[in-house]
Amino acid sequence: MKLNALIILLIFAASCKGVSQEKGEMAKNESQDVKEFAVQKTEAEWKKELTDAQFYVLRKAATENPFTSDLLDNKKEGVYVCAGCDTPLFKSATKFDSGTGWPSFYEEIEGNVAYDVDYKIGYKRTEEHCATCGGHLGHVFEDGPAPTGERHCINGVALKFVPES
């Protein structure tokens, strides 16, 4: 019983790690402007148009479980578009197997992906959004392959694949 109480106490203490100083620093150094996107819809409209999984990832910044996306092993040529508004986001030629469980790309289609800062898990990450509708896509990291060195780790439900004709 004492061991269980100790474990719960340790978990609680670890979960209380404050990031207020980091957020304060972010406010000084990085823009937190509310962004206007070309495609604007109400929450009810998004819920009507998207599956539950797409809604929670694109509109609520959730993360799908790893290794669950049908697009993970897709090797066909084409373009990956936003599941919310069909904006082209990534070309199949830039897709690679990162081993992380999510579709990964080393380069976005320039101008179609927007970036923000995310502190949701206690440290700074670069969050990616569709530049047209603002839908949450995933995160970009600096541990990808050449030529960019980037790994765009994207939720598969945030994407639709359009094969090359």
DSSP assignment letter at 63: -
Q: Which H or E element spans position 45? A: helix 43-49
Indicate which residues carry an active-site annotation.
153
CA–CA gap between residue 100 and residue 67 (Å, rounded): 8
Closest to 164 (Cα-Cα) out of 67, 50, 88 = 88
Sequence-ordered list of residues with C-beta below 8 angstroms from that of 84, at least 6 positions apart, any chain: 39, 46, 49, 50, 54, 58, 59, 130, 133, 135, 158
Phi, psi of 150 (to 5 degrees): -105, 150
Report which residue type is found at 115: Y
Token representation of residue 38: 């070309």
Contact 137, 61 (CB under 8 A): no
